[in-house]
C-alpha cells in the first residue's frame, strides 16, 4: 500500500501554506467582513478586506478547516493583495474553472501565483469545495452576489 | 460462528473491488450499508415478475404486488416484535418517519409552554423536526446532558423531563458516540410524566435485536438502507392507539376511505399514513434484508460486532495521536467509532485512508450541536457491519499509520 497518490494533492507548497498560513489574522481596519461555511464538513472562513481606491490594500482570514482549505486561503491572500476588485474577481473565476477541470491558458493560470498548484484538487472531487471556499468568500467580499 | 462471518463478504458484490489499487474496506456503514446479492436479486425479481400498483388493481399482478408488500410489513412487525402489523408504517426512511411524528402527533399535541426533550447526541433528523415544532408552537426544547465519556446523563434526564413534557425524542444508538442508550428507562421516565417516547432507531435496528414492546416505545423510527435494504424505504412503528387518533400526514390516493366534494374520511392505519403510490420494491427488498439478517441472527450480529470493537478500540487508543470520542471501554461501545488524529483535519485523513482503500466518513455526521458540545469541528468515523473482519481493522490501523507518516503528525 502506498500514499504516493496523495503527493499530487498534498505538495510541499500546500503543506507549507497550511502549516504556516499567510495573512491569518484579523484586520485593524476592514471595509468588509464575510463569513462562509461549508455545511458538509463544518469548515468556516472569515475573510476581511480593506479596500482603498478600488484596491485590496489589506486582507486577512481566520477560521478552521482542513489542509486544503487553509492553504488555499493562504495562497489566495498572497496573490490578491494589492489587486483591484476586477482583478480579484477575474482570478476567482479562473480558479473556479481550473479546479472544475476547465482549460484555462497558461497566462491565466500564472495570474494565480502559488494557488495554481491546487489544480490537482480536481482529481479529488470530494475536496474541490475545500479549495474554493475562500475564493467564494472573496467574491462575496468584492460585491458579487454569492449564495452561502 | 465467526467463520460464518468471514464468508459473508462474498455475498456483497460491491465489496469485491479494488479502490485505488487496494482491497476495499468499507467502514462507512453508519451512513449506509452495502446490499447482498439476495436483496439485489429480490428487487429485480419483483420488477421482472410481479410489478403492479398495490391495493388498487384487481388483476393478478396487482394481487401479487399487494400481497408481497403486506408480507414485508409482517416481516418488519416480527423483526421488531410489534404487537400488530398495522402498527408498521412504511416511510422513506428515519427522517421521513420522525417528520411524520412531529407534524402529526407533535402538531396536534404540543401547545405553548409545553416541553419537548431531546439530547445533545441527536442526529439532525431527530432534532430539527422538534426544534421547528417548538418554534411554531412556542414550546420549550430541552437538551439532556451527556456524561464525560459521552453517555446520556440519566440523572439529568430525570430533571429535564417534567409534567410539562409532552415528547421525549432520543436516539437508541448514537451515530457518533457509539453508545446504546437505556431507552427502556427513558420510556419509563417519560411515561411517569405522561409524555410519549419517540426513538430514533436508525443505528440500532441494523445491529442488535430490538423489541419495541419490551422498550415500551410509543414511536420507533428506522431506515432500510442501513440494514442491507434499499434506499428510500423506512419504517415508523407507532402504538396502535396513538396512530388511530392521529391525523394523516399527507393527503391523496390510497389513504382515503370515502371522498366527497367537501369532506373525506380516512383509511384505517397503517394505510392512512401511506398516501400515494408507495415504494413497493423497496419494502420487498427490505423484507428480504430482514430474512437475511434473521438467518444470521441479530444477537449473533451484535456479538460479532462487539468482538470487532474489542479488537479495534484498543488498537486505535494505542496510537498516541488518536482521540476517540465516546466511551473507551469496548463494552460500552457499539461498532461506530469516531476519532481524530491530532494535527490533521478529518477530511485530509479520510482522503488519505481512501488512498489505502479504506472508506470512512469525515465531517459533523449531521450532529452539529454534538460537535459543538464535544468542542470539535468534525471527526472521522469508522463504522462496522457484518461483512467487516479483523483484517479490515488491521487495514484501517495500517492506513492511519500511513497517513501519520505522510503528514508527519
Ligand atoms: C442516528 C440517526 N438518525 C437518523 C438518521 C437519518 O436516516 P435517513 O437519512 O435514512 O433518514 C441517521 C443516518 O443518517 C442516523 O444515524
**Domain count of chain A?**
1
Is A1's pLDDT higher than 50?
no
* Mean pLDDT of the B367-385 span: 93
Q: Work out whether strand B336-341 and strand B322-324 pair parallel, antiparallel, or are unpaired.
A: antiparallel
Residues forming a β-bridge with A32: A49
Question: For residues B169 and B183, what is the distance between their CA atoms, to the nearest angstrom?
Answer: 10
User: Pseudo-torsion of CA B193, B89, B208, B160, nearest 10°?
Assistant: -20
pLDDT of the residue at A148: 52
Q: Measure CA A121 to chain center.
A: 13
Identify whether A34 is part of a domain. yes
The pLDDT-based confidence of B259 (bands split at 50, 70, 90) is confident
pLDDT of the residue at A147: 62
Task: For residue A13, give the CATH number of its domain.
Answer: 3.90.1010.10
Q: Is B118 helix (H, G, I), strand (E, B) or coil?
A: strand
What residues make up the domain containing A34? 3-141
Q: Does A41 touch chain B (CB under 8 A)?
A: yes
Most B CBs within 10 A among A41, A43, A64, hence the mutation to make, goes to A41
Question: For residues A109 and A93, what is the distance between their CA atoms, to the nearest angstrom?
Answer: 11
The alpha carbons of chain B give a radius of gyration, in whole angstroms, of 22
Higher pLDDT, B39 or A120: B39
Question: For residues A6 and B350, what is the distance between their CA atoms, to the nearest angstrom?
Answer: 12
Cβ contact (<8 Å) for B347 and A68? yes
Identify whether A148 is part of a domain. no
Cβ contact (<8 Å) for B363 and A41? yes
Question: For residues B306 and A60, what is the distance between their CA atoms, to the nearest angstrom?
Answer: 48
Q: Work out whether strand A55-64 and strand B264-266 pair parallel, antiparallel, or are unpaired.
A: unpaired
Q: Is A42 helix (H, G, I), strand (E, B) or coil?
A: coil
**C-beta of B383 in contact with ligand 1 (< 6 A):** no
**C-beta of B200 in contact with ligand 1 (< 6 A):** yes
pLDDT digits (tens, 9 = 90+) for A90-132: 999 999 999 999 989 999 999 999 999 999 998 888 899 999 9
Q: With contact defined as beta carbons under 8 Å apart, do B237 and B220 qualify?
A: yes
Nine-digit cell at B281? Answer: 420494491
pLDDT digits (tens, 9 = 90+) for B261-306: 888 888 899 999 999 999 999 999 999 999 999 999 999 999 999 9
Question: For residues A40 and B347, what is the distance between their CA atoms, to the nearest angstrom?
Answer: 11
Cβ contact (<8 Å) for A42 and B364? yes
Cβ contact (<8 Å) for A67 and B348? yes
Q: Which helix (H) or strand (E) holds B293?
A: helix B280-296
Please tell me the residue having the least CA distance from ligand 1 atom 12: B202
**C-beta of B122 in contact with ligand 1 (< 6 A):** no
ipTM value > 0.85: no
Is A65's pLDDT higher than 80?
yes
* Mean pLDDT of the B338-348 span: 95
Question: For residues A145 and B229, what is the distance between their CA atoms, to the nearest angstrom?
Answer: 42
- The torsion angles phi and psi of B403, rounded to 5 degrees, stand at -65, -40
pLDDT of the residue at B254: 82
Which residues are CB-neighbours of B37 under 8 A, at least 6 positions away? Answer: B11, B12, B13
Identify whether A146 is part of a domain. no
Is B192's pLDDT higher than 70?
yes
* Mean pLDDT of the A132-138 span: 96
Is A42's pLDDT higher than 80?
no
Could you give the count of Cα atoms lying within 13 Å of B106 in the half-sphere of its Cβ? 33
User: What pTM does this model have?
Assistant: 0.92
Q: Which atom of ligand 1 is nearest to the CA of B231?
A: 10
What one-character DSSP code corresponds to residue B28?
B
**Which of these ranges, B57-71, B115-129, B248-262, B276-290, has the smallest mean pLDDT?**
B248-262
Identify whether A147 is part of a domain. no
**C-beta of B123 in contact with ligand 1 (< 6 A):** yes
Closest CB to A42 among B20, B352, B377: B377
**Which of these ranges, B2-11, B117-126, B273-282, has the smallest mean pLDDT?**
B2-11
pLDDT of the residue at B118: 98
Pocket test for ligand 1, best of B33, B123, B204, B385 (most atoms within 8 A of CB): B123
Name the nearest CA neighbour of B399 among B341, B343, B345: B341
The pLDDT-based confidence of B171 (bands split at 50, 70, 90) is very high
Is B58's pLDDT higher than 90?
no
| Helices and strands (H and E) in chain A: how many | 5, 3
Question: What are chain B's domains?
Answer: 3-31+297-407 (3.90.1150.10), 41-295 (3.40.640.10)
Identify whether A14 is part of a domain. yes
Per the rule left: phi > 0, alpha: psi between -120 and 50, beta: everything else, B376 is: beta
* Mean pLDDT of the B316-344 span: 96
Amino acid at each position: 500500500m502506498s500514499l504516493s497518490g496523495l503527493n499530487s494533492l498534498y505538495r510541499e507548497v500546500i503543506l507549507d501554506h497550511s502549516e504556516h498560513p499567510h495573512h491569518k489574522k484579523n484586520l485593524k481596519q476592514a471595509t468588509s467582513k464575510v463569513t462562509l461555511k461549508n455545511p458538509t464538513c463544518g469548515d468556516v472562513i472569515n475573510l476581511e478586506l480593506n479596500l482603498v481606491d478600488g484596491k485590496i490594500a489589506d486582507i486577512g482570514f481566520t477560521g478552521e478547516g482542513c489542509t486544503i482549505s487553509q492553504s488555499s486561503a493562504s495562497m489566495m491572500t498572497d496573490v490578491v493583495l494589492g489587486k483591484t476588485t476586477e482583478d480579484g474577481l477575474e482570478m476567482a473565476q479562473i480558479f473556479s474553472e481550473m479546479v472544475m477541470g476547465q482549460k484555462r491558458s497558461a497566462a491565466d493560470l500564472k495570474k494565480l501565483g502559488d494557488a495554481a498548484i491546487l489544480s490537482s484538487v480536481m482529481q479529488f472531487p470530494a475536496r474541490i469545495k475545500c479549495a474554493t471556499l475562500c475564493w467564494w468568500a472573496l467574491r462575496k467580499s468584492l460585491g458579487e452576489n454569492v449564495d452561502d | 460462528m465467526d467463520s460464518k462471518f468471514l464468508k459473508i463478504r462474498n455475498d456483497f458484490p460491491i465489496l469485491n473491488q479494488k479502490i485505488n489499487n487496494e482491497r476495499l474496506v468499507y467502514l462507512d456503514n453508519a451512513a449506509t450499508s452495502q446490499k447482498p446479492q439476495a436483496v439485489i436479486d429480490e428487487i429485480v425479481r419483483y420488477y421482472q415478475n410481479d410489478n403492479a400498483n398495490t391495493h388498487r388493481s384487481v388483476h393478478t399482478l396487482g394481487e401479487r404486488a399487494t400481497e408481497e408488500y403486506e408480507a414485508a410489513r409482517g416481516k418488519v412487525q416480527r423483526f421488531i416484535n410489534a404487537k400488530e402489523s398495522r402498527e408498521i408504517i412504511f416511510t422513506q426512511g428515519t427522517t421521513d418517519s420522525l417528520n411524520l411524528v412531529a407534524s402529526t402527533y407533535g402538531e396536534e399535541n404540543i401547545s405553548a409552554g409545553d416541553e419537548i426533550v431531546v439530547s445533545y447526541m441527536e442526529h439532525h433528523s431527530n432534532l430539527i423536526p422538534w426544534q421547528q415544532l417548538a418554534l411554531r408552537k412556542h414550546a420549550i426544547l430541552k437538551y439532556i446532558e451527556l456524561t464525560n465519556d459521552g453517555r446520556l446523563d440519566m440523572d439529568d434526564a430525570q430533571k429535564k423531563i417534567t409534567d410539562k413534557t409532552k415528547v421525549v425524542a432520543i436516539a437508541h444508538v448514537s451515530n457518533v458516540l457509539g453508545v446504546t442508550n437505556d431507552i427502556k428507562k427513558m420510556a419509563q421516565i417519560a411515561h411517569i410524566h405522561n409524555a410519549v417516547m419517540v426513538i430514533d432507531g436508525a443505528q440500532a435496528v441494523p445491529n442488535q435485536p430490538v423489541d419495541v414492546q419490551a422498550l415500551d416505545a410509543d414511536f420507533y423510527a428506522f431506515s432500510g438502507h442501513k440494514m442491507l435494504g434499499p434506499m428510500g424505504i423506512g419504517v415508523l412503528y407507532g402504538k396502535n392507539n396513538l396512530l388511530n387518533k392521529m391525523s394523516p400526514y399527507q393527503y391523496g390516493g390510497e389513504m382515503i376511505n370515502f371522498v366527497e366534494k367537501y369532506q373525506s374520511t380516512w383509511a384505517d392505519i397503517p394505510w392512512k399514513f401511506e398516501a400515494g403510490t408507495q415504494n413497493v420494491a423497496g419494502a420487498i427488498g427490505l423484507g428480504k434484508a430482514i430474512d437475511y439478517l434473521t438467518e444470521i441472527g441479530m444477537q449473533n450480529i451484535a456479538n460479532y460486532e462487539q468482538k470487532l470493537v474489542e479488537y479495534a478500540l484498543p488498537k486505535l487508543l494505542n496510537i498516541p495521536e488518536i482521540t476517540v470520542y465516546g466511551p473507551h471501554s469496548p463494552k460500552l461501545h457499539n461498532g461506530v467509532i469516531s476519532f481524530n488524529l491530532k494535527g490533521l483535519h478529518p477530511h485530509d485523513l479520510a482522503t488519505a485512508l481512501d488512498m489505502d482503500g479504506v472508506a470512512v466518513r469525515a465531517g459533523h455526521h449531521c450532529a452539529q450541536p454534538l460537535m459543538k458540545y464535544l468542542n470539535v469541528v468534525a471527526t472521522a468515523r469508522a463504522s462496522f457491519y457484518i461483512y467487516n473482519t479483523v483484517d479490515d481493522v488491521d487495514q484501517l490501523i495500517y492506513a492511519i499509520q500511513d497517513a501519520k507518516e505522510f503528514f508527519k503528525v
